[in-house]
Structure 1
Amino acid sequence: MPEKKELIHTLEQLLTGGHAHITFNDAVHNLPEKLRGAVPKDLPYSIWQLVEHIRITQWDILEFSRDPQHISPSWPEGYWPEETAPASEAAWKKSLEQINHDCKEFITLLRQPDADLYAPFPHGEGQHLLREALLIADHTSYHTGQIIVVRRLLGAWK
């Protein structure tokens, strides 16, 4: 069991820490409101759309992992918002809060005493908790990098 405990600790760090790269929370910190919906030349998305895509995807993975009855959004339209900017400051904050909340909820799944990180979900196609944890970390990291690039293109990154 020490190996499982260490693996779960490492997954928590991967999901919440930056280590080799910046965290999602740092990437969106102090982003001016007027730039949240800006779409740089030759890019197909705004930071808001990237944030919402991260939120929707992480939520879907969380729900898939804990609810066999969960129905995922249709791909790709269900994972990307059409609007380029949040409707309000409250919508922006709510999205960021849900990303952090759902990450904590996923970590709770990992910490369950009976959690089998390697057992395929009966309702999936071979997915298991370890795979889904790595998927969330990889997906969020990838799009966090895109947020940094967009911020640089908009002149809003140090």
Structure 2
Amino acid sequence: MKEVPILIRNLKELLDGGHAHATFEQAVKGLPAKLQGQVPDGMPYSIWQLVEHIRITQLDILEFSRDPDYESPKWPEGYWPAERAPENAAAWEESIAQIARDRKTFTELLEAPEADLFTPFPHGTGQNLLREAMLIADHNSYHTGEIIVLRRLMGAWK
């Protein structure tokens, strides 16, 4: 199908974000360490918890998409960190870097010569690579917006 390369290019752009809103990388850039674990009044989680939730969930979708024997974490506790703040600056940076690496790895699945966007995986309940790409993009975009809202509540967004 001649449209598939166009679809893959558009999916990659969707995963990277930035057309209609800020990217994940823009949302976390320059956030002071003292705010990474702060939970604003009336909010259920910190920016750190959102970053880790994005990392954990994206990794889960990646592994599910490429490994039929993969077992997902238990919902919901396996997808959310208990800690409100990162252990240190290295943990913060590593989580952000892992999100970028896993997103790149997922786009490599899309670009693989044998990639089939439409056929359901032999495992799961009918999911396919196209659906999982859109799921990552939707999920990450949603929580990136929450990160920006938390930053605004804390006076740390332009």
Q: Same fold (TM over 0.5)?
A: yes
Query: What's the counterpart of residue 2 of structure 2?
Result: 2
Q: What's the RMSD between the two structures over aligned residues?
A: 0.6
1:47 and 2:60 matched: no
Q: The residue matched to 1:19 in structure 2 has which SS?
A: coil
Aligned length: 158
TM-score by length of 2: 0.99
C-alpha distance in 1, partners of 2:51/2:36? 9
C-alpha displacement of 1:2: 2.8
Query: What's the counterpart of residue 34 of structure 1?
Result: 34
Query: What's the counterpart of residue 107 of structure 1?
Result: 107
Q: The residue matched to 2:124 in structure 1 has which SS?
A: coil
Query: What's the counterpart of residue 128 of structure 1?
Result: 128
Q: Deviations over 1:95-151 (max 9, x none)?
A: 000000000000000001111100100011000000000000000000000000000
C-alpha distance in 2, partners of 1:29/1:4? 33
Q: Deviations over 1:12-67 (max 9, x none)?
A: 00001310111000000000000000000010100000000000000000000000
C-alpha distance in 2, partners of 1:45/1:112? 37
Q: The residue matched to 1:2 in structure 2 has which SS?
A: coil
Q: Deviations over 1:52-84 (max 9, x none)?
A: 000000000000000001010000000000000
TM-score by length of 1: 0.99
Q: Which runs of 4+ in 1 moved over 3 A?
A: none
Contact 2:61 2:136 in 1 (8 A): yes
Gaps of 5+ in 1: none
Query: What's the counterpart of residue 14 of structure 1?
Result: 14
Contact 2:17 2:141 in 1 (8 A): no
Query: What's the counterpart of residue 144 of structure 1?
Result: 144
